A = this chain, B = another copy of it.
Amino acid sequence: MTQPRPRAAVVVTGSELVRGERNDRNGPFLAAEALRLGLDPERITIVGDRPEDLERALAEGFDADLCVVSGGLGPTHDDRTVEMVAQVAGRPLIVDPALERQIESVSRMFAERMGRPYTEFATGVTKQATLPEGALSLGLAGTAPGFVLDTAGSAVVVVLPGPPRELRRLWPRALETAPVQRVVERAPRRGRAVLRFYGTPESAVARALAEAGGDGDGVEATICAREFEIHVDLVYDADAEERAEALAALLRGGLEHYLFSEDGRSVAELVLERCRVRGLTLAAAESCTGGLVAARLTDVAGSSDVFRGGVVAYANDVKENHLGVSRALLERHGAVSAEVAQAMAHGVRERFGADVGVAVTGIAGPDGGTEEKPVGLVLVHAVGPDAEKARHMELPGDRETIRSRATVAALHLVRKLLENRHTAE
């Protein structure tokens, strides 16, 4: 065994988060960063702004080697992170005059930009310029300051603002500070292999992993199912690289028909990449996914050189007028049918002058299902320059689940259409 990896804990604070009104995005980001740096992400704790809850979570988090705290740095009365970090670390609070001037000038700029009086922003300038003694300021993101505090006895603490965009801007600066560097330097190098499968159940992947010898001996394996994709993550110590590679090779061999990504790229990225390599353009026609296929593709920066656009065809006459689906076909087979999915894919391909067309139609529910065509029935169709592919599914789940599974299924169908090797459906 190599030396133990430094442990990282994340404490996220925000009443709206602990009440479930908003999903936290900072915990996952920071945990992934810790993993990338070779640390061991141990836990993410989400608490509200009640002093006693925040104090307990911080005290637990300070047990780790690196504790990253997000949120509670704003100008309002319920932003108590700085105060509680100082208390748990046993440090007094000090106003930083330079920081105060900086926050004031940013606040004035914001006020001007939004055409609002500065007085609306003035509250909390001094509050936001107050830090625990010994803190290294990371500068501002918005009006919120981030800082690093080496508590000496326990964790190195990094405190960052809650808005994800501001947090992500300050995080690289935290990594450059000496206390954080010292923690990261203690991390032994760790390797990682990622395999993503589509079209096979989680238990089949688990069985293949067990038959390949399972994890242990310096290799940690995680299997996770997501919208019918199965993601396998192998994290290994430097001296277990050979064993991890052998494990990956066995998984690859046993499940090669289902393997679609080994570099962490999503199916949307792969579809765009395969189109780009072959000089193909793409267009989408969507009914039940209502724009999600297009949104998933355009979420990828640079998608505009491949993706020409698409039609969200909720109403039947939109399918007729904008995708050229004939009324006769709609009447004969219904809007949710393999025939209409095919006509939509061909229609969007032709009308948008694209090389590849993909279409989805289905019943996302909760209403609109019949015995013959139940909620969850989804038809996807993809057509390229020299081939086409179709798939019919009955997806379990609620409206959101059905829509997102149908989106992923449509993207995988395009991926398979563009693959050279023959793969199992």
Contacts and interface: CB of A to CB of B under 8 A. Distances in A.
Interface string A300-324: 0111100111111111011001100
A297 B403 CA distance: 13
Contact of A123 (B15, B21, B206, B314): B206
Interface stretch (A38-46, A132-140, A149-157, A174-182): A38-46
Contacts of A41: 18-20, 48
A202 interface: yes
B308 A315 contact: yes
Given A45-B44, A291-B295, A78 B223 contact: yes
A423 interface: no
B302 A367 contact: yes
A47 interface: yes
Interface string A331-374: 00000000000000000000111000000000001110000000
Given A42-B47, A302-B367, A307-B314, A16 B233 contact: yes
Contacts of A94: none
Pairs A-B, 9 closest by C-beta atoms: A290-B298, A20-B32, A291-B294, A291-B291, A20-B31, A20-B28, A291-B295, A16-B224, A44-B46
30 contacts: A14-B224, A15-B233, A16-B231, A18-B44, A20-B41, A21-B28, A21-B233, A42-B47, A42-B48, A43-B45, A44-B45, A45-B45, A76-B203, A77-B215, A78-B222, A116-B200, A120-B203, A121-B201, A124-B203, A168-B398, A291-B298, A298-B314, A301-B367, A302-B367, A303-B314, A309-B312, A310-B311, A310-B312, A311-B311, A315-B352
Given A21-B224, A77-B214, A114-B201, 15 more contacts: A15-B233, A18-B44, A20-B33, A41-B48, A43-B53, A43-B57, A74-B202, A76-B223, A77-B215, A116-B204, A120-B201, A120-B207, A298-B403, A299-B400, A311-B312
Interface of A: 14-25, 27-35, 41-49, 53, 57, 60, 74-78, 110, 113-114, 116, 120-121, 123-124, 163-165, 168, 200-204, 206-207, 210, 214-215, 220-226, 231, 233, 284, 286, 289-295, 297-299, 301-304, 307-315, 317-318, 321-322, 351-353, 365-367, 394, 396-401, 403
